[in-house]
């Protein structure tokens, strides 16, 4: 909650530190809060990486067990982020990952990514990596290389990807590189996307760029939405406000108050209301009362559903704020098993 009072860019910088500190005190509680807070927003792996690094130093068994329960793709992303935060992660820690949970391949990949250091000639380095016969290691080294190249010179990094013959591999690395570029310079990343010839891919990349930029500066990303074509504005707005609402619900709610598009409001309200109820339970009803009538039922349903997880009696008392009969039934159905008090 401390990050709520910061600017979006400050919050993006501070959030991994706060999660790391929380994990030093109570790793399990920090991890539960991270999951409930929807920390897996674009770029959120950095926050979880800080959390797991701190937790492993206090209770490595518990930290590794929690990490093993995540999907393989998330483990990989978090592992690479852990190395970025702490490039000297102890060999013993990586070996323990493999021995305890059978994650030998994952640990090997992290080790390979660790050694993919950017040279003075990234284009030549990329060409050499493409000739590596081990597909698994090649892919991970490529990811490490492109992250670093995008930080140094994103325009050159994107141009360098043209030498990759595999369309699927090229698209995957383009997406990764674009995400890092957007967080450094949104305008330049959008300008590059405008040169993509295929309309569907161009639209997909534009949304990706907006989402990535929103991870560090949602207000800048929202301001850039005005420059999009009309059909793309709604999805971009909804996506940015949804992710922002999970992390900084009050700031997202203030922005949403000026959005007239009913569909965008409906799509964003659920995430904002959930985040508000989770982070500011005492103030969420005051915010709910200030919403237009059509929005109150949607937001009320999300608040009821969130409260039902830990305070079923309070959730039951708020059911009358959900006007739509179908949504009301959904709240009751989703809260089945919430415990005594929700009937």
pLDDT value for 231: 85
Average pLDDT over every residue of 125-145: 79
Tell me the pLDDT band of 341, cut-offs 50, 70 and 90: very low
Tell me the pLDDT band of 187, cut-offs 50, 70 and 90: very high
pLDDT value for 143: 78
Tell me the pLDDT band of 342, cut-offs 50, 70 and 90: very low
For residue 163, which of 148, 147, 146, 178 has the smallest C-alpha distance?
A: 146
* Percent of the chain predicted with pLDDT > 90: 8
Q: Give the alpha-carbon dihedral of 133, 136, 138, 142, to 10 degrees.
A: 160
pLDDT value for 340: 45
4-18, pLDDT tens digit by residue?
Answer: 555 555 555 567 677
For residue 309, which of 8, 19, 37 has the smallest C-alpha distance?
A: 37
Tell me the pLDDT band of 37, cut-offs 50, 70 and 90: low
Q: Tell me the pTM.
A: 0.61
In this model, does residue 97 exceed pLDDT 70?
Answer: no
- Length in residues, the chain: 343
Contact present, 64 and 52 (Cβ < 8 Å): no
Query: Tokens in use for 248?
Result: 């900084």
pLDDT value for 339: 46
In this model, does residue 108 exceed pLDDT 70?
Answer: no
* Percent of the chain predicted with pLDDT > 70: 73
Average pLDDT over every residue of 101-115: 52
pLDDT value for 4: 52
24 class by beta-carbon count within 10 Å (0-12 exposed, 13-18 middle, 19+ buried): middle
In this model, does residue 26 exceed pLDDT 80?
Answer: yes
Highest mean pLDDT among 50-64, 185-199, 268-282: 185-199
């Amino acid at each position: 909650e401390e990050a709520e009072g910061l600017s979006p860019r400050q919050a993006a910088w501070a959030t991994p530190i706060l999660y790391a500190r929380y994990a030093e005190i109570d790793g399990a509680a920090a991890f539960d809060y991270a999951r409930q807070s929807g920390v897996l927003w674009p770029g959120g792996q950095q926050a979880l990486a800080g959390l797991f690094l701190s937790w492993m130093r206090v209770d490595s068994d518990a930290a590794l067990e929690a990490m093993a329960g995540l999907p393989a793709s998330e483990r990989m992303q978090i592992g690479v982020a852990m190395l970025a935060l702490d490039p000297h992660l102890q060999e013993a820690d990586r070996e323990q990952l493999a021995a305890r949970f059978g994650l030998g391949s994952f640990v090997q990949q992290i080790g390979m990514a660790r050694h993919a250091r950017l040279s003075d000639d990234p284009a030549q380095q990329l060409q050499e990596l493409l000739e590596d016969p081990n597909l698994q290691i090649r892919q991970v080294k490529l990811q490490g290389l492109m992250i670093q190249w995008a930080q140094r010179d994103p325009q050159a990094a994107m141009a360098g990807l043209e030498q990759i013959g595999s369309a699927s591999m090229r698209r995957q690395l383009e997406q990764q590189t674009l995400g890092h570029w957007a967080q450094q310079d949104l305008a330049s990343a959008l300008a590059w996307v405008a040169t993509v010839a295929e309309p569907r891919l161009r639209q997909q990349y534009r949304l990706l760029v907006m989402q990535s930029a929103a991870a560090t500066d949602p207000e800048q990303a929202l301001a850039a939405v005005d420059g999009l074509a009309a059909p793309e504005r709604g999805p971009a707005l909804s996506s940015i406000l949804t992710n922002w609402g999970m992390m900084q619900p009050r700031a997202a709610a203030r922005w949403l108050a000026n959005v007239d598009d009913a569909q965008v409001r409906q799509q964003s309200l659920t995430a904002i209301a959930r985040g508000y109820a989770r982070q500011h339970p005492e103030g969420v009803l005051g915010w709910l009362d200030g919403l237009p009538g059509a929005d109150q039922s949607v937001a009320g349903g999300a608040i009821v559903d969130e409260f039902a997880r830990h305070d079923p009696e309070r959730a039951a008392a708020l059911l009358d704020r959900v006007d739509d009969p179908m949504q009301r039934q959904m709240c009751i159905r989703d809260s089945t098993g919430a415990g005594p008090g929700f009937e």
